[in-house]
Chains A and B, each alone.
Chain A
Amino acid sequence: MDDNTFDPDLIRAIFKLVWGRRALEREKNEGADAVDCEVGVGTSKKIRPTSANSNALKLSCELLRVFISEAVQRAAAIAEAEGVSKIEATHLERILPQLLMDF
């Protein structure tokens, strides 16, 4: 693992954002189901947000870093083959399926 991987705090912030959003969605969906559930019932899930321990976070950082750098490198290869100096979204699209399969 490189030292210059992503900042775990950043990754955790991102994760939390996603988790929070998902929890919100879930809550909304459930709220639609049980309209009148009064306070106390629906809060259990809110109280326990998803979390990750530090090692998992580290691993996630590294994984993300590898993933992103690989994506960039592959896209760069395509772009270079194309003679373009700038990576564009189409380059990414070209390598994306296989990239996703590789990860």
Chain B
Amino acid sequence: MTSASPLQIADDDDGFDWEAAVKEIDVACQSANPLTSLPNYPSSSHFVPLQNNCNYVSSSNKILRKPRAYKQSTLHSFIGKGVGLEHPHENPVVDDPDQQVAVDGEDERVSCVGIDVEAAKTWIYPVNVPLREYQLAITKTALFSNTLVALPTGLGKTLIAAVVMYNYFRWFPDGKIVFAAPSRPLVMQQIEACHNIVGIPQEWTIDMTGQLSPTKRACFWKTKRVFFVTPQVLEKDIQAGTCLVKYLVCLVIDEAHRALGNYSYCVAVRELMTVPLQLRILALTATPGSKQQAIQNIISNLHISTLEYRDENDPDVSPYVHNRKIELLEVALGKDAVDINKQLLEVIRPYAARLSAVGLLQNRDYKTFSPPDLLNSRDKFRRAPPPELPQGKYGEIEAYFGGLITLYHICKLLSSHGIRPAYEMLEEKLKQGPFARLMTKNEDIRKVKLSMQQSLSHGAPSPKLSKMLEVLVDHFKTNDPQNSRVIIFSNFRGSVRDIMDALSNIGDLVKATEFIGQSTGKALKGQSQKVQQAVLEKFRAGKYNVIVATSIGEEGLDIMEVDLVICFDANVSPLRMIQRMGRTGRKHDGRVLLVLACEGSELKGYMRKQANSRAIRKHMHNGGINSFDFHSSPRMIPHVFKPEVQFVKLSIEQYIPRGKKVKDDSAIQTPMFRAKLNADEVALIAKYFEPTSEKSWRPSLIAFPHFQAFPSRVHKVMHSYRTDMLIDTMQYLQNLSFSGESNTFFTEGEIASGKCLGVDTVEKEDNDKDPLIWDESPSTKSQKKVTDSEVSSLKSLRTKEQNVLDPQGQRPAGHSYLFGSEFVLLPLKEASQTNCTSPSATVLLNCLKPNSCHLKNPGKNYEEQTVQGKSSPDIITSWVQCETSVALAMSKSNLQQETTLDQVEKFPETSVLKKIISNEGDCVGEALNCLEIKVPSLHADEYDNSNELSPRLTNMIQSGFVPESPIDIGLLNGKGRNEFLATDVSPMKLCAELLSKSQSPRKNDIAISSSSCQRDVSISSINNECHTPILKENNVVRTDGCTSISPAAEETNTPLANLTKNSLSKDWLPSSGDKSENVEQARKFKRLRKIGDVDRNRNPEGNKDKSLAPIANLGRSFSDISPNQIKYCKGKRKLTGNARTFIEEEAEVSSEAEMSDDEKDDSGNSSYDDSFIDDRTNPTAASIQAETSRVDMMAVYRRSLLTQSPIERESNSYITSTPDCGNSVSRRNESKSSSVKTLCSFQTPQPDSANDSARRDTDSFCSTERMSAAMPGITSHSVNENERQLESRKRKLSFCQPGSIPVINLEQKFCLQSDAGRKETFQQGLAENLDANAEVFHDDQFFENLDLDAVEAQATLLLKHRSKLSVQKQDVAPKSDAQNFDLQSSPSFDLGIW
């Protein structure tokens, strides 16, 4: 039949009675009894196949390709053994044909697990770690029979398991291997350990604990091959059928000593054994049991057929056993404890005596009893109550037993853990239950409790605790706290807490944590497994160096560095003692196990149990063959194969914890590219991609809402319709918020416009103020040493500017930035807005506060700077003067404001006052404060007005920006309207300037400084202190005006574009182009801050044009802007190179220019440009013009230098005007130069008129300003001039605005303006009228704009305008020739217009 079997296998579908065969085998398996009689059951025998089998195998060799065939042989061997063992008398007749057939049938059933023939020829033993003989021997055994490995801790049980698993993994390509460990931490530890030993590919391994949902586990059972599970999971899944039992080939059971009773191990194995399958079981333990019976139970439960036992004394093991010094520290009980113990015994005595009397308790010293003794006695009593005892007494006896058990337990606690745990237990027991009933009336127990309380209130220093602390401190003195680890075991959670408390007091050396089980009691909360894992991880990593553990820490924790184990209680089972000891000495010699035992019962118990454990070892020697009954087990590998050991050095990949498996790719890849990164980049990545956290950084879409109110700059991809929708929505939303309060940060389209307006107003105000101050200061300067003061002021200004810049910088950091230029502006705008919007004097405070600390900071900085400035004597003097002048200016400004520009002026004033107040309060002094206070009081009314006006203004602005609401502007009162309109227009410019400033300030510190010089001169000491946001703004504005007018224009373009976007989406595209240009310009500006000044100079024209253009854009189209911008850009670029060289000069010039109105500034800039231009070659027409004017300019410039700045300013303005005119530049220049002188003469008269008229003489203002500028050098018009200048500045501002507007609008306006300017010089009312006209024109324009939706139409209009403008200019030039004043004024206007 042997020969027939292969055939049968080949066609297994024949009519063989498989059922019968299966049954037979099942019976054989189930009836398999423990192997008793196989004294020679050498593992090598597995390698010796039976002869029959040999034949069989050889005959079936050809079929071996089929996986099933192999089963056959395995089964065969199995049955052979089983039968042989089961029926010793039957002998190996097993091979009778029928049996074989049956075996074949069985094979069919189990055939799903195939053997890899090639792999089965060898078994692999890794030599990555040094080979140990005993491990090799045990592994060899374990491969071929179910083995219980009892190996002392730390000798590498896991390696054996891993090797066995690995080989089964190799042999059975479809087989599934299970490793069961009793706790989750152990599972996690073992999966890693196994991986590191044999490197089973991680895609095949999985750890499954109760945390995985059963459904997921079911999935894994199907897809994975090596499972690291908890026994509970294994049990449940086997019962649920999700575990594919049929495929199981190997089961490893860690900590097998737990396989007692109904523990999951036993259940799982039982379940597996009901299925007829072959399974290799490998059980691992360090402590199989303390009794022979227990070990036998394990062997039976786990179907063990071989016991591999080694202990430290075995010759093949001993070399690897690290010396462990076990120290027994005897600790005397504390005096308190002794007393309490006595008292407790007193309590116990009567009960024990009574029980003894009944004969239920051994008649011995009641002090020697222990709870187990009593338990045994009670059991005995329950089983066989003494007959002489009446039934009624039973309850009483039970109560006594219970009470005594509790009491003895408390005694034990007292001796081994101290008073506190004992006390807690006693208290708890006394609260309820039978013990409480028994003891409530007992006086002695109350005394015990009392004395416990007393000693506790004294701190209850347990001798053990103090000893332990001593030991710990000693240990960490001799060992590095970083590398040394200590585990303290305590059997009792209460004492864990006590130990923790004690450890917390001994300082930094000890970083202790507790490590306890999950169950949560009344007093103490358990640790979740997650926490446990975390604790272990940190312990491993060194974040903790002491663990205070309960029994949970006793098993399996493999922590190499542990070099001290302290057993806080000694009276535990030897099993646990061994496990505890096993936590140390795993890597090195000389590790210490400290046992703290109290004298007395605890010590005795310890001794007894040690002796006990020694005895059990004897049983296990020689494989325990004499002592235990073993089961049979399948060989699994056919006898055909005689796997030879093959020593292989395995290449093992880095173990990756499963939690991160999802991110396998990134986890693996990151290191690769990370290697190419430098530290900074890695840090940057770490900042946004937290490596440890699950979530990687995700960009926020809502982080910068205000940025979404403006279209972002685009590169190639234009904004989509949806983006526009988004922007509109955001603007709408933010608008609401804006109106709701003075939210400075949220600038949306309209809001932005509003802000711009506010800023403009503020700027205007500032400008007005500045001029005033300036005028005053010049006077003072002129009187004193102007140069010195200027220098100092320049310094201070620079610092101030820098400060301003800083705050801005801070803001951006804190908040989100709008577009580069815009974001800088925003703060300013915000400040201005806050000022404007918030109605009351509080506004000032608000400005300071809400606008953010930045303002305050700057203010402080300013103060400091001012202080510095003060240090310079000149400055101080000027300071006083400045104060006075400020007061004057304030009054003037108030008057002016009240009369005409109340609102606008008030705003600046308010802001200035605020700033002044704050600054002065800090720095200046009482006098200033007084002035300030006065000023505020004066201005309070104005403030109110301004406040009221401010909303209107904002509305106006918005309306102005949005062509739709020109009517509103018109609605404003004549003067107010005019002014407002002017302001509106100017605001545009101002905004632009501000923007430019904001942009430039950061980069263009130098430029700012130069511009600031002017400011400084004007504001000088007074302003320095006062340098509040307004000042900053002013400074910035002025500087910008001087330097960055063009930038401003650019910036304005962007805002305008935004506005236009808001208003007209159609216009957007052209505007976007403009914007992009603007951006470029801005960049250039940044780069060329110094240059920026020059650029600004050039830009003035451009700026004017730009400002006009923006307005036009607002009203009409943006197309105009773009050309202007482009020109500017060119001019700027060219200028930039030149500018640097002239920075200093420019600074002076700019300061002078700043002194003059915006126009003057422009002119000043232009003059600078010209001067710079000399060096350069101006590419643009403007530059050419400038060049043409250069000669004149140079002369003027020199003069101005000689005369101080004013002349230059004038010249500058002239120059600028000339460039604007373009064609008539030369004429203008000449006229200007000539006019300068004439102007001077004229100016004198004008000032008076200007003073009288105050503000509206735009032309006259310009002239007056120029005159004044010229004058200071020559004469002393200080007060009048100052006033005039101030007025003129205001006027100029207004002029420029209206002028620009009209220019933008139509030539007609321009003409009117020029005419008006002429008239205005002598008649204020006329000027007003003109302004009104201008406004009317504006309105018309606006309407026109509204009408003209199409860009083309706008473009055409623009073209027309240009032509008209040029014509106008030409006209103006002649006019200027005719009249110096007219010329001056007109050119300037032209410039502005252009």
Contact = CB atoms under 8 A, between A and B. Distances in A.
B1083 interface: yes
A89 B698 CA distance: 10
Contacts of A9: none
Contact of B820 (A82, A95, A99, A103): A82
B699 A31 contact: no
B699 A98 contact: no
Contact of B723 (A77, A83, A101): A101
Interface string A2-23: 0000000000000001000000
Given A69-B715, A70-B717, A101-B726, A96 B1002 contact: no
A97 interface: yes
B701 interface: yes
Interface in A78-100: 78, 80-83, 89-90, 92-100
B727 A98 contact: yes
Contacts of B707: 94-95
A51 interface: no
Given A90-B703, A101-B722, A77 B1079 contact: yes
A90 B823 CA distance: 14
A83 B1002 contact: yes
A95 B214 CA distance: 46
A77 B712 contact: yes
A73 to B, nearest CB: 3
A1 to B, nearest CB: 14
Contacts of A78: 712-713, 817, 819-820
Interface in B684-721: 688, 697, 699-704, 707-708, 711-720
B720 A102 contact: yes
A59 interface: no
Given A35-B215, A95-B712, A102 B719 contact: yes
A102 B723 contact: yes
A28 B219 contact: yes
Contact of B718 (A82, A100, A102): A102
A32 interface: yes
Nearest to B717: A70
A98 B1082 CA distance: 22
A100 B587 CA distance: 58
Given A31-B219, A93-B700, A98 B819 contact: no
A70 B714 CA distance: 7
Interface residues of B, number: 48
Given A77-B1079, A81-B821, A81-B999, A98 B708 contact: yes
A94 B817 CA distance: 8
B1123 interface: no
B812 interface: yes
A73 B720 contact: no
Contacts of B723: 98, 101-102
B477 interface: no
Interface string B722-735: 11011100000000
B717 A66 contact: yes
A89 B699 contact: yes
A32 B820 contact: no
A81 B1082 contact: yes
Interface in B921-968: none
A73 B715 contact: yes
A28 B712 CA distance: 42
A4 B1082 CA distance: 30
B720 A101 contact: yes
A94 B999 contact: no
B817 A81 contact: yes
B508 interface: no
A70 B715 contact: yes
A4 B817 CA distance: 33
Contacts of A74: 712-715
Interface string A28-42: 100110011000000
A50 B47 CA distance: 52
B711 A77 contact: no
B999 A97 contact: no
A102 B715 CA distance: 12
A66 B717 CA distance: 8
B708 A66 contact: no
B436 interface: no
A76 to B, nearest CB: 8
> Which residue, of B699, B716, B816, B1083, has the highest number of chain A Cβ atoms within 10 A?
B699
Contacts of A80: 820, 1083, 1086
Contacts of A92: 699
Contacts of A73: 715-716
> Which residue, of A17, A73, A97, has the highest number of chain B Cβ atoms within 10 A?
A97
Nearest to B217: A35
A83 B688 CA distance: 22
Contacts of A28: 216, 219
A80 B819 CA distance: 9
B665 interface: yes
Contact of A36 (B218, B708, B712): B218
Contact of B823 (A35, A82, A97, A102): A82
B1003 interface: yes
A43 B1082 CA distance: 60
Given A31-B219, A89-B688, A93-B704, A98 B726 contact: yes
A96 B701 contact: yes
Contacts of B1079: 77, 81
A66 B218 contact: no
Contacts of A32: 213, 215-216, 219
Interface string B31-54: 000000000000000000000000
A70 B716 contact: yes
A66 B999 CA distance: 29
A66 B665 contact: no
Contacts of B713: 74, 77-78
Contact of A77 (B726, B727, B820): B820
A90 B999 CA distance: 19
A98 B817 contact: no
B242 interface: yes
Contacts of B809: 83
A36 B242 CA distance: 8
Nearest to A36: B218
A98 B701 CA distance: 9
A20 to B, nearest CB: 10
B216 A82 contact: no
A35 B712 CA distance: 51
A17 B708 CA distance: 33
A35 B715 contact: no
Nearest to B219: A31
> Which residue, of A31, A78, A99, has the highest number of chain B Cβ atoms within 10 A?
A78
Interface string A64-76: 0010011001100
Nearest to A95: B712
Nearest to A27: B219
> Which residue, of A35, A69, A70, A74, has the highest number of chain B Cβ atoms within 10 A?
A35
B995 to A, nearest CB: 11
Interface string A47-64: 000000000000000000
Contacts of B1082: 81
A93 B999 CA distance: 21
Given A28-B216, A81-B819, A81-B821, 15 more contacts: A28-B219, A31-B218, A73-B716, A74-B714, A77-B713, A81-B1082, A82-B817, A82-B820, A83-B809, A89-B688, A94-B817, A97-B708, A97-B726, A98-B719, A102-B717
Interface of A: 17, 28, 31-32, 35-36, 66, 69-70, 73-74, 77-78, 80-83, 89-90, 92-103
23 contacts: A31-B215, A35-B215, A73-B715, A74-B715, A77-B819, A77-B1079, A78-B712, A80-B1083, A81-B823, A81-B1079, A82-B812, A83-B1002, A89-B699, A93-B699, A94-B703, A94-B707, A94-B817, A95-B707, A98-B708, A98-B727, A99-B712, A102-B720, A102-B723
Sort A-B residue pairs by CB-CB distance and give the 10 closest, nearest first: A81-B820, A73-B715, A101-B723, A77-B713, A101-B722, A94-B704, A31-B219, A94-B707, A32-B215, A70-B717
